[in-house]
Every structure is written in structure tokens, then in C-alpha cells.
Structure 1
Amino acid sequence: MNYTTGLHQLSIHISKIALTGAKFALLLPIIMFLLPGCSKKQEKPRPKPPVPVKVSTAVQKDVPVQVKAIGNVEAYNTVSIKAQVNGQIARVHFREGQEVKKGDLLITIDPRPFETALKQAQANLLKDQAQARNADEQVRRYGGLVKDGIVTREQYDQLKTSADAFAATLASDQAAVESAKIQLAYCFIRSPINGRTGNLMVQQGNLVKANDVPVLVTINQINPVYVTFSVPENDLLEIKKYMAGGRLKVAAAIPNDVRPPETGTISFLDNMVDSTTGTIKLKGTFVNAERRLWPGQFVNVIVVLTTRPDSVVVPTQAIQTGQQGPFVFVVKADKSVELRQVTVGTALNGETVIEKGVQSGETVVIDGQLRLMPGVKIEIKQPEQGNKVKTQPAG
């Protein structure tokens, strides 16, 4: 019913019943209620405005297959230096934290008592050598006399036994001299490896005992260096598969370091899985030429198993999760969206591989999904300042 017709019919009805002014006043609210109702029926529903979103394009690229873990840096070789003789530390030849090479003199223990012991051993050797020579000469002389019957066989045997005893004494003296030389050499403690010295625990002037604790100093070899980490046993089959085909590359990224990660190779796979944690231990060897990796440091480890060529990837933020699994909103040519279920693969650096559901070149929504439904029209928003995701117009 339109406005004119309703008003005309109402006027006829009022005239027929010959209402008074008071009765008409009672009907006035009813008239005012009917008039807006009649006008509303003439209004058309307003179309919903498009939903502002950000979009990105699915691309095809080579994607590395990786295993990630938290690793701990270990020294390639660690030596704890202890005294091997008793004595007083006469001099320290290095600074704490200094780089040393194999054979460098580190500590000198007072050598004078050991030099005296060596001289005494050498003197005993000289004395016994003279006595041994005299005994050998008597055996040679009496050997001819016993044949001529001038001396008895018993006298000759006594001289021969004495000569053999002096020969044994000489061997003992020579061993004593060698032992004294070794003890004297222990007074000069040298580095057995190339590495970096740690904290010196016993200072110059202190008395030390052989093999006593604490150690004098610890030397760590950090060039090369190990990185130890553990991975879930579910990854063991893949790791063994690719290790059989050659050396696996491994990268160690230092937290808060903007420089590229250090690279190395897997050099150790443990012979058993830890039943308490369900993980297995691995080690990577790194050249560490710039000394960026430090023993005891925690790093982010990435093992590159292989590379999957021509994989379709989208920004990870495009993937939503519903009751039927992961899905994305794909933008169609008419700037409406389509909900599409997808099968996702590995995720890397903010991108996720789409195994099934999206083709390369299709446009997906990466921001504003909460207001979307299938068929809803969208409007492309400009990317915010500093946004690293590349957006483009739909359609």
C-alpha cells in the first residue's frame, strides 16, 4: 500500500463514521504509525561494502627440506693441565685467555731439585760403568788363565758373575738417568694442542703436587669446533637416508647476530636413541675460522636434508585452520573470495609449501580473513610501511 492510497481510504473511513474532533485526536497516533510503515516498504536493501584485505601471490620455487634444533657449542678438544711433579711454580709464561700453539711453554716448576737428581743419577752411571769395564777386563784375562790351569774354574765363575751384576747395575743406572730426565722435563709444562687458555687457577710462587686438583689451567681448541644437538627420533630415518648419500650440511645461527650462520657438516650420529626423551644426538663440525662460535654457547641449528624443486608456496599467514583442516581464501577474477581446503607441507622463513589446493600464480588473502565468507567481495589494502609481504591487486 502506497502513501496516497492509504491516506485516501483513511479519510473516507473517518467521514463515514462522522467522528468528532476528540475521536480524531485518538486516531492520530495510528495514522502516524502507518505512514512510516508504508514508506519503508519502498526502500531497497543497501549492498554490503567490500571487505578490505591484503593479498599475495602463490609462487613456485625450490624449497629446502630442513630439520631444526637447538644446539650447544663444544670445544673440538679440551685439555686440563696438571702438574706431574711436586714443586714450586717458578714462572707463568702465558696470559689468561691467550691463544697458544702446540709446544708453547706455559708454566715452569722450579727445576733445581730435579737437575740435582739428574746429575746424581748420571754420576752413579759413570761410577758403575768404570766398575763394569774393570769386571769385563778381569773376565777376559782370567778366561785365558783358566784354560792353562793357572786359576780354578770356581774363581773364573765368580769373576763372570760379578761382571754380569755390574752390567745389570748399568742398565738400572741408565733407567734412573732417563727417569731423572723425564722428571726434569715435567718441570717445563708445554701446551699439547693449539687452543685458547682459560683461567689460571694456581699463581706463580704456589706449591703444586703431582696430579693434584684443581687443574692449573684448561685449554680449549675452538678451531675447529663441535656443535652438539638432538633431533626427534621421527627424523632419524630421513637423516640416515641422506647421510648415506654423502655429508649433510648443517648451519648454526647465533641468536641476535645479523650475520649469516656458520656452516659445517654432520660428523657424528649417536648409536642409540635416548628412551627418556625420544631424541638422538648428533654433532656437526665447523671450521670456525672467525671464532664466532664459543664453547658453551647455544645456537639455532638447521640441517639441510635436501631441496624440493618447483614447490608452490604461500605466506604462512594466509593459512587458516577450520573444522575440516587448513584452508585459504583464494581471490577470483570478480574480486570475490573462494574458501579452498589445502594440504600443507614444510614451513620456512614465513612461507609454507602447499602440497595440494593452490596453483602457482593464484592470489590468496594474507590479512583480513576474519571478516570473509565464500563469495564476499574484497578490496585490496595498500601494504603498511615496512611490510615485507608483497601485495598485489586481485583479478
Structure 2
Amino acid sequence: MKTMHFVGVALLVAGTVAGYYFVARGTAPAEPQVAPVPVEGIAVRIKDVPLYMSGLGSVVPLQTVAVRTQVDGQINSIRFREGQHVHSNDVLVQIDPRELRAKLKEATGQLRRDQAALSNAEHDLKRYRGAQDTGTVTQQLIDTQAATVAQAKATVLADQGAIDEAKVKLGYCTIRSPLTGIAGLRQVDAGNLVRAADGSVIVTIVATTPIAVIFTLPERDIGRVAKILQRRNRIPVAALDADNRNILASGSIEALDNLVDPNSGTIKLKAIFKNAKDSLFPGQFVHARMLVGELKHVPVVPSHAVLHGSKGDYLFIVDHDGKAKIMFVKTGADVGGESPLLGGGVKAGDIVITDGAARVSEKANVRLSLVSVPKENLPASAASTDLGGSEAMASSTTRAHVDGATDANGGASSRNRMSQASEVDAAGSEDSPSP
């Protein structure tokens, strides 16, 4: 027992001496230092922002005509180019008219023959009535001749109708554009035989000036839109491209549909655009953005700074210790690459990370590089740091190179946006607004 007690005391003394040695020599193991994550950022600004309602839609021509033949015959010539702007009454197609011209002549000859027969019958009736007083002509003969005259008149009338029909059909041999618009791809070439009974389309003409956009909004917006339409005659609408960035044309609301689609819970709206530059094309997919008001004095940030997770939209700001902080926000519609913040606690002057947010996490040390922000908004650790910048920059701003204070427990590894979103969802605070 004494031996074991002695061994224990010896080990305790040895450990104490070794600890003192390492402390005295300054060789105690240190926790690894994590380099700050390089990011770019911008200070939040306050401005007035237009308030929009946006919906997905497609461009619809106000008029579409499928050009078909109304007579049978061979196509002699095509008088339009595919994609050409055509005007109303322009000649599009010429069908061989020779057969119909011959039928017109035949109908004209039949009319003249029947007109001669009518004239002869009328003369006979006149003679019969003149001879009635002499008793040589019976009343029955006069009545019969009167019926013959009536039949001859009916025949002449039918002949005239046949001539009119032949003239109309002859006119159909020259197919003209029924409206001003753009000719599509031709479906039949010259030399082919076309028949009216087939109903084959030769070409489709669409009117593009003006043109319409049909888009949808959620049914919850019906009341608000209806009230705005009642208050003012015109609601401005902008049609944006598929990326929802570039404005293609500007117009106004024409009508609100009278029923909600029960399957989608949306209602259709129709907007009209002059489309003088042909920037909208029939069938094109667009985003319709309807101006319904204005937000006064709201913070705005670049739209690409806003990330998306299962708990809602969020962004990172840089606090005064040079650390990233998650802020869940509610954003309005993108306006020129900027998004208004409708909730979330972000204030004017807060520095929002605009590039590199996918590589940081909550409380990670960050280093701002080449960012123009007001000096009074920089973290305390960066207030005296300056990269030189350009002389053209305003005196109230500086190009900042900010090294955040290093936290032994901080740091961040490189992540893609999907894994970052998952991390943010897991790190949401009680102050975060609901999605």
C-alpha cells in the first residue's frame, strides 16, 4: 500500500511540474485560428419604391386570322414573304381563275338566253290580252301565258344570282389580307391544288399593334385591383422578359375577368400595349408588373443579396465586430435589381453582404473588400482601415478592407447555396418573421 501511494504522489508531482514547464515556456497547445471569409457588401439605403403586383402571363394578339381558300383551284403564286408585315387588303395568294371565268361566261350566256325567252313570253301575253275582246283567245290561254312569263322572270332572276356567285368566286381567286399584321410561315406552296372543303390553312396573320398580355393574379388581390380600377381609369402595366429584369413594353389594364379559376385560385387580367416597336411577340412568355401604389421611405438592398430558405427570405449583415449575422426579411417585388425590405429589422446603414454570402454562416468572421459604404456605418474594427480608393469617390464614403476580429469558435467553410440554406433554416432565431 505504501508503494502504490508513493507512485501516485510521484505521478501527481510529475504532472504538475510538466504543466508548469509548458506554461512557463509558452508552448501550451493553441486552438486553430480560422481566417475571415472574404465578402463584398453595401450599406442599406432608404428610398421611395413603387409598389407592384406581378403575375405570369403570355402575349396574345388581339386578332388572329387563319387564311384559307374559298374556291377550288391551283395556286398560281404566293405574294407574301414569311414574317412580312402585311396591310389590310394586300394580295397574299393568287389562285388560277380560268375555270371560274369560264363559269361566269356560261352564266352570263344563260342569262341572256333566258332574258330573250322572257321577252318573247311577255310579247305573247300582250298579244293574247289584245285579242281577248275578239273572242279568239280564251281566258285559260291568257292565264297560262301569264304563268309562263312569271316562270321566265324567275329563271332570269336565278341566272342573275348565278352570275353574282361566279363573280364572287372569281374574286376569291385573289386572296387578300383581312387585317394588318404579320404573316406567319406558309403551309402551302405555289403549284399545289387547294380545295375549299379541305379547310387547309395557307398562312396565319396576327395583328401585333396593338397587342394584349393575359396574366394572372392570386384571388386574394381581386378586391384591391377592383377598387383601383374603380378609382382611376388607367392602371399602368409593364411587360418584362422571362428573366423578369428588362422592360419590353408599357401599357395599361384593359379588363379584369369575371371569374376565378377554381383549380389554380387565380384570376385573369388583360393588358393592352401599343407595341409600336414589335417588342412583344404573340405567344411570348412575360412577367406583367402592375403599378398599384408607392412605398415611402423603405430600406432597399440589391436583390441578389437576398437568399431563400424554407423559413423564408434572409440575408447576412456585418455587425460592428466584423461578424456575419442572419436577418430574416420580407421583401417586395424586384425593382431595377433592388428589393424593398418590408420587414425583418434591417436598418438604413446596415452593411449587407452582396457577394460571398454562400460561404459564410451565423457569427462567422468576415473580411469586407472593395466596398463603398458610409464611414459611419463601418464596423469599429475597420474605421481606420483604407485601401486608397478612387479620388472620384465621395468624401463620405471609403473603400474598406475590413478584417473582423478572430473568434476561436468562429469561422466558416465553403458551402454551396443549398447547404447554406439548410444551415440558415437550422439557425433561425425567435425574432425571425414567419415565411
For the aligned pair, the TM-score class normalised by the smaller chain equals: 0.7 to 0.9
2:373 corresponds to: 391
1:78 corresponds to: 64
2:189 corresponds to: 203
Once residues 306 and 63 of structure 2 are traced to their aligned partners in structure 1, the CA distance between those partners, rounded to angstroms, is 48
Q: Deviations over 1:216-250 (max 9, x none)?
A: 11112222222222222222222222222322221
Q: Deviations over 1:47-101 (max 9, x none)?
A: xxx999956244242x222122222222222111111111111222222222211
Once residues 224 and 89 of structure 1 are traced to their aligned partners in structure 2, the CA distance between those partners, rounded to angstroms, is 32
1:351 corresponds to: 339
The correspondence for 1:94, drawn from 65, 76, 80, is 80
Stretches of structure 2 that go unaligned for 5 or more consecutive residues are: 1-11, 27-35, 378-435
Q: Is contact 2:330-2:344 (8 Å) kept?
A: yes
1:254 corresponds to: 241
Alignment of 1:180-199 (within 5 A): 180-199=166-185
Question: Do residues 267 (structure 1) and 254 (structure 2) align?
Answer: yes
Q: Is contact 2:47-2:300 (8 Å) kept?
A: no
Once residues 354 and 268 of structure 1 are traced to their aligned partners in structure 2, the CA distance between those partners, rounded to angstroms, is 29
Who wins on radius of gyration, i.e. which is larger? 1
Cα 1:364–1:167 shift into 2, 3 Å: same
Identity %: 32
Q: Is contact 2:318-2:352 (8 Å) kept?
A: no
Between the two proteins, the alignment pairs up a number of residues equal to: 348
Once residues 321 and 199 of structure 1 are traced to their aligned partners in structure 2, the CA distance between those partners, rounded to angstroms, is 46
TM-score normalised to structure 2 length: 0.67
Q: Is contact 2:315-2:352 (8 Å) kept?
A: no
Q: Is contact 1:97-1:196 (8 Å) kept?
A: yes
Once residues 184 and 319 of structure 2 are traced to their aligned partners in structure 1, the CA distance between those partners, rounded to angstroms, is 62
Cα 1:313–1:111 shift into 2, 3 Å: same
Helix, strand or coil at the partner of 1:227: strand
> C-alpha displacement at 1:331, in angstroms?
7.6
TM-score normalised to structure 1 length: 0.73
Q: Is contact 1:329-1:365 (8 Å) kept?
A: yes
> C-alpha displacement at 1:189, in angstroms?
1.0
Q: Is contact 1:55-1:380 (8 Å) kept?
A: no
Once residues 151 and 24 of structure 2 are traced to their aligned partners in structure 1, the CA distance between those partners, rounded to angstroms, is 140
Cα 1:381–1:91 shift into 2, 3 Å: closer
Once residues 142 and 278 of structure 2 are traced to their aligned partners in structure 1, the CA distance between those partners, rounded to angstroms, is 74
2:279 corresponds to: 292
Question: Do residues 134 (structure 1) and 120 (structure 2) align?
Answer: yes
Alignment of 1:1-395 (within 5 A): 30=16, 33=19, 54=41, 56-61=43-48, 63-147=49-133, 149-244=135-230, 245-255=232-242, 260-308=247-295, 310-315=296-301, 317=305, 344=330, 346-348=332-334, 349-354=337-342, 362-367=348-353, 381=368, 383-384=370-371, 391-394=373-376
> C-alpha displacement at 1:215, in angstroms?
1.3
Q: Is contact 1:331-1:363 (8 Å) kept?
A: no
> C-alpha displacement at 1:163, in angstroms?
1.0
Letter in 1 for 2:67: I
Cα 1:33–1:83 shift into 2, 3 Å: closer
Letter in 1 for 2:275: N
Stretches of structure 1 that go unaligned for 5 or more consecutive residues are: 1-25, 41-49, 385-389
> C-alpha displacement at 1:380, in angstroms?
9.7
Q: Deviations over 1:311-352 (max 9, x none)?
A: 3223264899999x98997989xx999x99998563434232
Once residues 160 and 322 of structure 1 are traced to their aligned partners in structure 2, the CA distance between those partners, rounded to angstroms, is 95
Q: Is contact 2:56-2:288 (8 Å) kept?
A: yes
